[in-house]
Structure 1
């Protein structure tokens, strides 16, 4: 199982909010004063955004940073719980 990366979860939360608001990358990047390409990379989890950048993006989305961090924490906690559940292996059948 692939480990969950914080940058991917943050990007997912930001993209989901942007799409929910019906806004384009261009609109949010302009409002946040962040390049379009960089914002795209943050949303795709390819770049680790600084706290200042996250705050600017959240302001542009009118979304409290604490909400983003709560979403990320909840998804991370769920992934950790699922990873700790033992895997059930199928019983090997005896040759007939």
Structure 2
């Protein structure tokens, strides 16, 4: 699943605002942005211009550099999870290996049933697919 930049920025802005216990109305007044437009930006429906983003960041007392750095970290963590090898990939590569394989079935490190198993910023975790181990398999963390 691909996450768009505007969605990641919107998620992070909403998270910052709600963490500060502020309403959309408060932030929209402070940033001099319409409430409806701010809502659209937070939901990832509208692409904020750099000027608008600067005004929203100022209203939230959030340096824009921090916002962009955090969004980049969120997106790169999501990309790493999306591109992580699966248990099936490990089995296929083992089948083609020259040396024989002994022991149990190899599982990827990302197998788990909780998103907390993946060290990820809390904002975009709802965009991750549910990761569950195959039935009948034992997962051993290294």
Q: 2:67 is matched with which residue?
A: 68
The answer for unaligned runs of 5 or more in structure 2 is 89-133, 135-142
Unaligned runs of at least 5 residues, structure 1: 91-96
Over the aligned positions, Cα root-mean-square deviation in angstroms equals 1.1
Q: Which residue of 2 aligns with 1:13?
A: 12
| Residue 55, structure 1, aligned to residue 51, structure 2 | no
Between the two structures, name the one with larger relative contact order (CA 8 Å, sep ≥ 6).
1
Is the helix fraction higher in 1 or 2? 1
Identify the residue that residue 37 of structure 1 maps to in structure 2: 36
Q: Could you list the runs of 4 or more consecutive aligned residues of structure 1 that deviate by over 2 angstroms after TM superposition?
A: 86-90
Write out per-residue CA displacement over residues 29-75 of structure 1, whole angstroms, 9 at most, x where no aligned residue: 00000000000000001101011000000000111001110110001
- Could you state the TM-score of these two structures normalised by the residue count of structure 1? 0.87
Point out the structure with max Rg over C-alpha.
Answer: 2
- TM-score, normalised relative to structure 2: 0.60
